[in-house]
């Protein structure tokens, strides 16, 4: 447990907080864009050599304290028989979304380790390439977030079709959520077996639900996953827009809770309690600010969260148009952090 | 002040809370769709007879306790020289958005009463037609929300271009926000003069900002508007996604604060304090639930907010696909409300 990132997840006292960036292996890096021009999205995910190269790229070029396996949350529903495509410039698309109860019955719970063996191969290869320089994070979408895409069939601002299905066909909705949960647990356990050092759940669309509906359709399923994993490995739960349930999430036994940028550090800590690490929450668009401003804002953010039980990150994925020197300024500000006296 | 809606805004004790619905004059009503098929969006806004007919329609057909003038937040930037169009199926579009400081200088502060005389005519005609059955609400976008459209040039999930402009050209951004603020104050004062009974500010995109940036780029400008209006008329501030600043908004002297559906009633009251009416916050997609469920959820919601200092509404605009009987069930549940004993 000598890595700063794992120490912070464990609640150890650290000289400075670790830093990584959601979507750090992505479109703001020119070398990534070269690979993107040559290989389509799922080819990059499914070819271990490419996934490894992309995963390690920000460690070499930006210097973050953890790597996150290049992959996508939609590989799980793909393995369940939902044939997602990635439409360029538009995002995920499913020609035959789940719309009636009978569609749910057709969704299968696969042997995740076998069905997603290319992910396992990528983990093994990435771990070898990283050679213990930094820990490797594996991830999955929350069951609710996968459900949103499976029912809506594509991205959406409010996922009204997915929500309507949940509200009018609750029995079928819960059956689908449980299938996704079971698959995700098996998938993450296989990832652990192949070498990831921590796992993060992305509840990207939990924020479209009211607090009561979130507990019903998202929270209880993520809790099952944390319960199944937490004795094996540190777990991080990032429920974007779900500030209202940080109190509940703080009791799940997760190692860390991710935060978006709409909550003040002091309030996040007050809600989540003191037995969990917090991760976040710099506004991704604030990386457009001049580098000297970025550095002073990062210092203020760490002062507000406190250096311990804290992982520096953005409040959501990095945007494609962020200049690389700004990203380096962000990471450098963390690495040179000293507490205000 | 005998109208229930105005009583609730005033903090009077009432037998039941009033109810109205954001976008109540809209696409879920078959008669509205007939007018939509005949006249384009801005024709409907700019023709007082049409605006009146649409505004009064839900009073006759649904029975809400307040009318809201059919119009659009983009009529204000239009009057400032920003030539927004409404692209069918896509939303607002501005061919020449504000992108550099010099663009801000070209934006004019018009004589709002004159430039938007068609709105004033629609108010007079609507008031005559309503014949004091229910009060009439006038509205405007928040300066930040208008800024978002003016800079982004169209709808967006995160308004990254607008935010980037604010963060990299803060001086020009504040100059534009002040121009919008000045125009909005004059516009709302003219509306008051022509007969509206209350005004609502829609900060539809305040939620894309961090709490610190929200105060800087949105809050302080809305506060100017509330300050300028509150001695003349009841004001309602609806800042979607801005739960984090309800405490601050509660001190502005607004009559009411609107709430989206992601905050629990008890928490909203705790944050906002007891000197302001709360308005909201039923999840719009929850109107897809069976009518008997809608009715029990409405009762629970009123019990949680309390019948006084409260206006029943959705947490955002009504969706086009909601069946009319479900909307009626929502309104009926409020009208037949009796407190749990």
Distance to chain A for B286, nearest Cα, Å: 7
**Res A340 pLDDT > 90:** no
B286: closest chain A residue by CA = A167
- Confidence (pLDDT) at B341: 66
Chain A, window 294-313: residues with a beta carbon less than 8 angstroms from a chain B beta carbon:
none
Using a CB-CB distance cutoff of 8 angstroms, which residues of chain A are in contact with residue B156? none
Nearest to A167 among B167, B263, B286 (CB): B286
Integer Cα distance of B62 and B105 in angstroms: 45
Q: Does B319 touch chain A (CB under 8 A)?
A: yes
**How far is C-alpha B261 from the geometric centre of its chain's CA atoms?**
15
Per-residue pLDDT, averaged over B196-214, amounts to 98
C-alpha to C-alpha distance for A130 and A118, rounded to whole angstroms: 18
| Partner-chain residue, chosen from B160, B168, B210, that has the shortest CB–CB distance to A289 | B168
β partners of residue B280:
B312
pLDDT at residue B1 is higher than 70:
no
Nearest CA of chain A to the CA of B11: how many Å?
Answer: 27
CA pair distance B280, B8, nearest whole angstrom = 13
* Residue-level pLDDT at B90: 85
Q: Are B259 and B315 in contact (CB under 8 A)?
A: yes
Long-range contacts (CB closer than 8 Å, 24 or more residues apart) made by A151-159: A151/A97, A151/A98, A151/A99, A151/A176, A152/A97, A153/A93, A153/A94, A153/A95, A153/A96, A153/A97, A154/A90, A154/A91, A154/A92, A154/A93, A154/A94, A155/A90, A155/A91, A155/A92, A157/B157, A158/A208, A158/B285, A159/A205, A159/A208
Percentage above 90 pLDDT, chain B: 96
Of A210, A241, A267, the CB nearest to B283: A210
Residue A339 has a pLDDT of: 83
ipTM of the complex: 0.95
Neighbours of A82 (CB within 10 A): 23
Identify the three-state secondary structure at position B52: helix
Q: pLDDT averaged over chain A?
A: 97
Asked if A99 is an interface residue toward chain B (Cβ–Cβ < 8 A), one would say: no
Residues in chain A within 8 Å Cβ distance of B286: 167, 210, 213
236-255 in chain A: CB under 8 A from chain B: 241, 243-244
Write the CA distances from A133 to A6, A43, A125, A176, A249, integer angstroms. 13, 26, 14, 39, 31
Q: Stretch A220-237: mean pLDDT, rounded?
A: 98
Tokens linked to A27: 């479109």
Q: A171 — contact with chain B (CB < 8 Å)?
A: no
pLDDT per position as a tens digit, A196-224 = 999 999 999 999 999 999 999 999 999 99
Q: How far is CA A275 from CA A8, A12, A182, A278, in A?
A: 12, 11, 27, 10
Kindly determine whether residue B285 and residue A164, on different chains, have CB atoms separated by under 8 Å: yes
Q: Is B267's CB within 8 Å of A244's CB? A: yes
Q: What contacts A329, CB < 8 A, 6 or more positions away?
A: A291, A292, A294, A295
Q: How far is B216 from chain A (nearest CA, A)?
A: 14
A274 touches B at CB < 8 Å: no
Q: Which of B244, B284, B288 sits opposite A263 (nearest CB)?
A: B244
Residues of B in contact with A244 (CB under 8 A): 243, 262-264, 267
B161 touches chain A (CB under 8 A): no
Chain B residues with CB under 8 Å of A211 CB are 262-264
With 70 as the cut, is the pLDDT of residue A341 above it? no
Which candidate in A205, A210, A314, A322 is best for mutational testing of the B interface (most B CBs within 10 A)?
A210
Predicted confidence at residue A89, as pLDDT, reads 80
Contact yes or no for A211 and B264 at CB 8 A:
yes
Sign of the dihedral defined by the CA atoms of residues B52, B57, B60, B62, in that order? negative
Q: Please report how the helices B170-194 and B220-229 are oriented relative to each other, as an axis angle in degrees rounded to 10.
A: 20
pLDDT of residue B52: 98
A160 inside 8 A of chain B by CB: yes
- CB-defined contacts A:B, below 8 A: 74
Test the B interface: residue of A157, A285, A290, A297 with most B CBs within 10 Å: A285
From chain B, pick out residues whose CB is under 8 angstroms from the CB of A209.
Answer: 262, 283
* Cross-chain Cβ contact A289/B243 below 8 Å: no
Q: Do B210 and A261 touch (CB under 8 A)?
A: yes
Q: Work out the minimum CA distance from A115 to partner chain B, whole angstroms.
A: 34
A338 and chain B in contact, CB less than 8 A: no
> CB-based contacts of B58: which residues, under 8 Å, 6+ apart?
B21, B24, B25, B29, B64, B67
Asked if the Cβ–Cβ distance from A262 to B241 is below 8 Å, we say: yes
Judged against a pLDDT cut of 90, whether residue B99 lies above it is answered with: yes
Contact B86, B154 (CB under 8 A): no
Instruction: Return d(Cα B139, Cα B204) in angstroms, integer.
Output: 12
Could B210 and A244 be called an inter-chain contact, meaning their C-beta atoms sit closer than 8 Å?
no
Asked if residue A1 has pLDDT above 60, the reply is: no
What tens digit of pLDDT does each residue of A44-92 get?
999 999 999 999 999 999 999 999 999 999 999 999 999 999 888 888 9
Residue A251 has pLDDT above 80, yes or no: yes
CA-to-CA dists, residue A303 to A173, A261, A296, A312, B53, angstroms: 43, 16, 11, 11, 57
Mean pLDDT of the residues in chain B = 97
Q: Please give, rounded to a whole number of angstroms, the shortest distance from the CA of B133 to a CA of chain A.
A: 34
Mean pLDDT of B301-308: 98
CB atoms within 10 A of CB B92: 18
Helix (H, G, I), strand (E, B) or coil at B279: strand
Residues B24-58 pLDDT 10s: 999 999 999 999 999 998 899 999 999 999 999 99
Average confidence (pLDDT) over A265-274: 98
Domains of chain B: 4-26+40-281+308-315 (3.20.20.210)
| Chain B residues within an 8 Å CB radius of A285 | 158, 160, 163-164, 167
Given an 8 Å threshold on Cβ–Cβ distance, is B168 in contact with A207? Answer: no
Instruction: Give the rounded percent of residues in chain A with a pLDDT score beyond 90.
Output: 96
Nearest-Cα distance to chain B for A284, in Å, is 9
Q: Kindly list the distances between the CA atom of residue A99 and the CA atoms of A165, A234, B289, in Å, as whole numbers in the listed order.
A: 7, 35, 16
> Is B107 within 8 Å of B98 (Cβ atoms)?
yes
């Amino acid at each position: 447990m000598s890595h700063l990132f794992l120490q912070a997840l464990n609640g150890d006292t650290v000289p400075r907080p670790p830093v990584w960036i959601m979507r750090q292996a992505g479109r703001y890096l020119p070398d990534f864009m070269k690979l993107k021009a040559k290989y389509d999205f799922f080819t990059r995910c499914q070819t271990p050599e490419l996934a490894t190269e992309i995963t390690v790229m920000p460690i070499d070029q930006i210097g973050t304290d953890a790597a996150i396996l290049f992959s996508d949350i939609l590989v799980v529903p793909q393995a369940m028989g939902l044939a997602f495509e990635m439409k360029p410039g538009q995002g995920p698309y499913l020609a035959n979304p789940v719309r009636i109860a009978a569609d749910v019955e057709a969704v299968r719970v696969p042997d995740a380790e076998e069905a997603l063996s290319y992910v396992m191969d990528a983990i093994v290869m990435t771990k070898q390439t990283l050679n213990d320089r930094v820990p490797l994070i594996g991830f999955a979408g929350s069951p609710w977030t996968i459900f949103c895409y499976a029912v809506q069939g594509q991205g959406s601002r409010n996922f009204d079709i997915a929500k309507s299905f949940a509200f009018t066909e609750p029995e079928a909705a819960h059956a689908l959520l449980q299938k996704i949960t079971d698959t995700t647990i098996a998938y993450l356990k296989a990832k652990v077996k192949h070498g990831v050092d921590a796992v993060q759940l992305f509840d990207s669309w939990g924020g479209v639900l009211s607090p009561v509906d979130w507990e019903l359709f998202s929270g209880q399923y993520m809790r099952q996953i944390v319960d199944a994993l937490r004795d094996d490995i540190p777990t991080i739960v990032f429920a974007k827009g779900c500030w209202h349930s940080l109190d509940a999430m703080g009791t799940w036994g997760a190692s860390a809770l991710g935060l978006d940028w709409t909550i003040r550090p002091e309030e996040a800590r007050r809600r989540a309690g003191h037995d969990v690490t917090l991760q976040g929450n710099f506004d991704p668009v604030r990386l457009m600010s001049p580098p000297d401003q970025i550095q002073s804002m990062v210092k203020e953010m760490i002062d507000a969260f406190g250096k311990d039980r804290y992982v520096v990150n953005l409040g959501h994925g990095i945007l494609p148009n962020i200049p690389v020197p700004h990203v380096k300024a962000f990471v450098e500000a963390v690495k040179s952090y000293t507490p205000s006296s």
